[in-house]
Copies of this chain bind each other. A is one copy, B any other.
Amino acid sequence: MSRYWSRVVRDLTPYVPGEQPKLPNLVKLNTNENPYGPSPLAIEALRAEIGDTLRLYPDPNAERLKEAIAASFGGRGVAPRQVFVGNGSDEVLAHVFLALLKHERPILFPDITYSFYPVYCRLYEIAYQAVPLDEAFRIRAEDYLVPNGGIVFPNPNAPTGRFLPLPEVERIVAGNPDSVVVIDEAYVDFGGESAGRLVARYPNLLVVRTLSKSHSLAGLRVGFAIGHADLIEALERVKNSFNSYPLGRLAIAGAVAAIGDQWHFERTRRAVIASREALVADLAALGFEVLPSTANFVFARHSGRDAGEIALALRERGVLVRHFRQERVRQFLRISVGTDAQCQALVAALREILS
């Protein structure tokens, strides 16, 4: 605390990301990273981009990347001017909150959700109302059909992993013609279905994506949004009042190549889904209740043992998972889906702890 701080800084409660420990040989299942490396084509494109041209600024509009993203939506009619790109989806979301979710009325998001949302609200002084998930930790569409300043939720939701079927998403979007509805699809490629195909029909729908999970590029920092050109223009106005060049030359080159490698994408996301299904069965056999997940993580609680204790015991055995302290979910662990070997190491450690 210092007299030099602005008032808003004093009132902030910053987000705390999952730990990035520097120790080797950890089974790191705490930050939803992809256990498989990025596309070899992305690696090649990054190598090719390294050189003398790094002295030059990147394209401030990253047109190549917008074109690649638009093309990846195939026949669903997304034009490059309906694409916004940023330095990871967290930056994209930050701009979304300021540009499209700051209005008179409070915005709505689930009580159990990505814990960065209330942080953005404090940063930009946006009022919000947390809408409780139902008793099975599901989003109920009807809860969002009330006056609001905007709506945002991940689909599948985090950290629950539960997916809200598209007809329910559409009910929320169609039922709020005066508000922007933001669907944060960080995890959608692991079994969900994207709301991207609804963008052409709803001028109030914005879909946010990241290359960190299903494209395995968390270390490169690229996210994007698609929506009506008017929504994208609002984001561009904020971006161009904040940082002209959020994506460097390497980020643009790597992202373009990763998005173009459909084969690697399919192969690795299917492998993650298969490992998740095996992990869910193993956890159930150990006495865990596991919420149905379409993400690259599962959210599970044990009938007999405290989640915090389990997390600590796992840590002592070199296995990191994430434990949130929020009352309603404090008996749950969020476990990222690793390789089969990592999942088996986790299960073996759990077996030891629970025996």
A→B interface (CB under 8 Å) = 1-9, 12-18, 20, 22, 28, 31, 33-38, 42-43, 46-47, 50-60, 87-88, 90-91, 94, 98-103, 119-120, 122-123, 178-180, 203-204, 212, 216-221, 230-231, 233-234, 236-251, 254
Contact = CB atoms under 8 A, between A and B. Distances in A.
Contacts of A120: 241-242
Contacts of A180: 4
- Please name the 10 residue pairs, one residue from A and one from B, whose CB atoms are nearest each other, closest first: A14-B240, A37-B52, A219-B249, A2-B230, A6-B102, A54-B219, A17-B244, A221-B248, A55-B216, A123-B241
A6 B54 contact: no
A194 to B, nearest CB: 21
Contacts of A217: 54-55
Given A244-B90, A248-B251, A34 B50 contact: no
A235 to B, nearest CB: 9
B51 A37 contact: yes
A20 B75 CA distance: 31
Given A231-B4, A250-B46, A220 B98 contact: no
Nearest to A103: B6
Interface centre among A53, A57, A98, A103 (most CB of B within 10 A): A57
A219 B14 contact: no
5 contacts: A28-B56, A38-B54, A47-B50, A94-B242, A220-B248
B241 A122 contact: yes
Given A94-B243, A248-B219, A9 B237 contact: yes
B218 A57 contact: yes
B220 A54 contact: yes
A237 B60 CA distance: 27
A174 B103 CA distance: 41
A341 to B, nearest CB: 15
Contacts of A60: 17, 20
Given A17-B60, A102-B8, A55 B244 contact: no
B47 A242 contact: no
Contact of A219 (B57, B94, B178, B203): B57
A54 B243 contact: no
A91 B243 contact: yes
A54 B216 contact: yes
A22 B289 CA distance: 56
Given A35-B55, A55-B217, A242 B20 contact: no
A110 to B, nearest CB: 20
A103 B9 CA distance: 11
Contacts of A179: 4
A88 B243 contact: yes
Nearest to A34: B55
Interface centre among A231, A243, A244, A247 (most CB of B within 10 A): A243
B20 A59 contact: yes
